C-alpha cells in the first residue's frame, strides 16, 4: 500500500480527480489530502466519507491541515507518506514558487520517495513562452532537479472539459462533463458556437505543418497519475506526458459540428496578430489570465500544444477518453442527436 499526499487535494477538479483515482485502486494506494490550516483551527486532521468510483461504497479520506509557510508543519504531515503530488494553484507568483519549493524540501526531509510539482498544462518547453508559467514552474523544476527525490512533471495539454462548457444539463450531464471545471471558454466556445484557430504563416516559402493540440479529460488525469505511482521504474526527473487526443484544430472543429449538430464559426488568428495585441495597451490585455491566454495563442501558432504521450505507452491499462468520445457522450447522446459512425 502506497500512501499519497495530494497538496490541494480538496480542489473540485484535479484534486478530486487524483483522490478518486487513488481510491479506485482497491487499496493499492491511499490518498491523503493536504489542506491549508484554517485560522483558529485546532484540529490537525479530519476524515470524511468519499465515494469510491465504480462502487456504491464510500471510503474514509484523511485531510491533514498544514501551514504552507512552515516547512516544519509540512514535514510533520508527510512523515508516513511515500509520494507527494501537488495540484496547488496560487495566482501570486512569488508565493506559488516558495510554497512548492518548501513542499519539495519538506518531502525530502520527511523521507518521501517521490514528488510531482503542480504542472498539468502544456509540454515543459512551452513554459518558456508564457510569462506566468516561466515565472512559477521553471524555478520549481530547477529546485527539483537539484534535489535527491525521484520526481516527474505531469503534462496533459488542454483540459478536454473546456468542450463541456454549455453542454446539455439533462440528468446531471453537464456536471459530469465539467468534472468541477469552472473556467470561461478559451479557444473553443461551444455556447456561442465559435472556435479560434491558429493560422501558420510561411517560413522561407515553406508552409509548416498545421498546429495541433493535446486535450485530456480531467478525470483521466487522475487515472494516469495513479498508474504512474504503480510504475516500478523510477520517474527519473522527466516529463511524463499524457493525452486523450492530439488533433489538428480543424479536426476538432469537425468533431464539434458532428456531435453538437451546430455549424461552428471559425475565427482564424496569426502569430503577428497576437503579438500586436500583446504589445498594444489599448487592446486591454491586462491581468494574468488575459496575458496567459494571449501567450498560449502565440504558442499555438508555433506548432500548437502537443504533449508526448509517454504515460499512454507506459500505462496501457489506462484508456483515456478521446475528444470524439467526449463530444458524443456529453453533447450528442443527451441531446438525442443521431450521428452516423
Is the pLDDT confidence value at 41 over 90? no
Domain boundaries, the chain: 2-155+218-241, 159-215+245-307+315-335
Q: pLDDT tens across 279-338, in order?
A: 886 666 667 788 889 999 999 999 889 999 999 999 999 999 999 999 999 999 888 787
Q: How far is CA 60 from CA 18, 48, 49, 52, 93, in A?
A: 15, 5, 5, 10, 34
Is the pLDDT confidence value at 138 over 80? yes
Is the pLDDT confidence value at 272 over 80? yes
Q: pLDDT tens across 175-229, in order?
A: 999 999 999 999 999 999 999 999 987 666 667 788 999 999 999 999 999 999 9
CATH number for region 159-215+245-307+315-335: 3.90.25
CA separation for the pair 167, 165 (Å, rounded): 6
The overall average pLDDT reported for the chain is 94
Are 308 and 239 a contacting pair, CB within 8 Å?
yes
Strands 29-36 and 158-159: unpaired
The CATH number of domain 2-155+218-241, selected from 3.40.470.10, 3.40.50.20, 3.40.50.720, 3.40.50.1100: 3.40.50.720
Amino acid at each position: 500500500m502506497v500512501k499519497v499526499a495530494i497538496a490541494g487535494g480538496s480542489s473540485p477538479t484535479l484534486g478530486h480527480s487524483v483522490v478518486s483515482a487513488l481510491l479506485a485502486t482497491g487499496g493499492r494506494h491511499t490518498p491523503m489530502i493536504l489542506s491549508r490550516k484554517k485560522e483558529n483551527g485546532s484540529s490537525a486532521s479530519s476524515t470524511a466519507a468519499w465515494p469510491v468510483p465504480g462502487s456504491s461504497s464510500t471510503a474514509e479520506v484523511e485531510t491533514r491541515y498544514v501551514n504552507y509557510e512552515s516547512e516544519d508543519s509540512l514535514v510533520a504531515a508527510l512523515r508516513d507518506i511515500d509520494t507527494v503530488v501537488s495540484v496547488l494553484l496560487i495566482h501570486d507568483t512569488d508565493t506559488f514558487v516558495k510554497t512548492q519549493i518548501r513542499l519539495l524540501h519538506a518531502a525530502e526531509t520527511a523521507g518521501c520517495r517521490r514528488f510531482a510539482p503542480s504542472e498539468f498544462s502544456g509540454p515543459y518547453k512551452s513554459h518558456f513562452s508564457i510569462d506566468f508559467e516561466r515565472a512559477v514552474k521553471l524555478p520549481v523544476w530547477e529546485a527539483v532537479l537539484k534535489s535527491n527525490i525521484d520526481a516527474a512533471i505531469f503534462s496533459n495539454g488542454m483540459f478536454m472539459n473546456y468542450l463541456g462548457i454549455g453542454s446539455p444539463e439533462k440528468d446531471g450531464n453537464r456536471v459530469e462533463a465539467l468534472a468541477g471545471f469552472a473556467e470561461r471558454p478559451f479557444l473553443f466556445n461551444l455556447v456561442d458556437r465559435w472556435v479560434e484557430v491558429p493560422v501558420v504563416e510561411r517560413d522561407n516559402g515553406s508552409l509548416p505543418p498545421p498546429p495541433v493540440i493535446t486535450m485530456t479529460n480531467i478525470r483521466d488525469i487522475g487515472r494516469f497519475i495513479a498508474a504512474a505511482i504503480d510504475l516500478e521504474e523510477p520517474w527519473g526527473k522527466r516529463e511524463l506526458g499524457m493525452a486523450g487526443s492530439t488533433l489538428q484544430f480543424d479536426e476538432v472543429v469537425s468533431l464539434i459540428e458532428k456531435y453538437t449538430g451546430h455549424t461552428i464559426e471559425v475565427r482564424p488568428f496569426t502569430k503577428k496578430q497576437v503579438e500586436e495585441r500583446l504589445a498594444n495597451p489599448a487592446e486591454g490585455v491586462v491581468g494574468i489570465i488575459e496575458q496567459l491566454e494571449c501567450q498560449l495563442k502565440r504558442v499555438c501558432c508555433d506548432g500548437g500544444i502537443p504533449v508526448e504521450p509517454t504515460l499512454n505507452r507506459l500505462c496501457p491499462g489506462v484508456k483515456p477518453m478521446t475528444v470524439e468520445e467526449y463530444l458524443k457522450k456529453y453533447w450528442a447522446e443527451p441531446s438525442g442527436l443521431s450521428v452516423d459512425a
